[in-house]
Amino acid sequence: MATRHIDAVRTIDEAVYANPWGVANWRNELASADRHHIVAIEDDILVGHAGLLFVLEEAHVTTVAVDPSREGKGIATAMLVDLLGEARAHGSTGATLEVRAADKRPQRLYGRFGFRPVGVRKDYYSTPIDDGIVMWLTDLQDAEVGDRISEIAAALTHSTEV
């Protein structure tokens, strides 16, 4: 992701998040060495974005968002393949994220990659208030995890450029 993508990213975020990040926040994210943000482009249109924060040996998935009109085409899956590959290359030993308890779709998505629920942060989210499910994908460096990511990547049929 580059600065020129911020407006399109924010348009998606405003459609899918209750509290989207502002321009200043995005500029900070893009300027920080411990962040890694990607965009998905289809037919020259920005259709999704996703990001990581590296904390010591952990990779935190901070955001995954897809244009609602493009859902269900594997765009988030493609971005996660990319992010987890990046985390493995970075040497991260595990990946983690929080997801709204009510949002079963992303939980299924993360589950396919091997993320498992390990805890609940009570009332972690606002607008509306919801618990946060903490999910972890441990053993990120294991060959089996690499094989699983490769299998998911091979099954993708779309032509999104990430």
Ligand X SMILES: CC(C)(COP(=O)(O)OP(=O)(O)OC[C@H]1O[C@@H](n2cnc3c(N)ncnc32)[C@H](O)[C@@H]1OP(=O)(O)O)[C@@H](O)C(=O)NCCC(=O)NCCS
> Residues interacting with ligand X, by CB under 6 A?
16, 64-66, 71-77, 97, 99, 103, 105-106, 108-109, 157-158
Helix, strand, coil distribution of the chain in percent, nearest 5: 40, 35, 25
Query: CB of residue 59 vs ligand X: minimum separation in angstroms?
Result: 14
Quote the least distance from Cβ 88 to ligand X, whole Å: 19
Q: Minimum CB separation from ligand X for residue 49, in Å?
A: 9
95 DSSP β-pair partners: 59, 137
- Least distance in angstroms from the C-beta of 81 to ligand X: 10
* 70 vs 23: CA distance, rounded Å: 24
Comparing CB distances to ligand X, the nearer of 74 and 114 is 74
The number of beta carbons lying within 10 Å of the beta carbon of residue 45 is: 10
Task: Kindly tell me which of 95 and 97 has the beta carbon lying closer to ligand X.
Answer: 97
Rounded to the nearest 10 degrees, what angle do helices 143-155 and 75-90 cross at? 150
Q: CB-wise, 76 or 145, nearer to ligand X?
A: 76
- Spatial contact of 154 and 46, defined as CB atoms under 8 Å apart: no
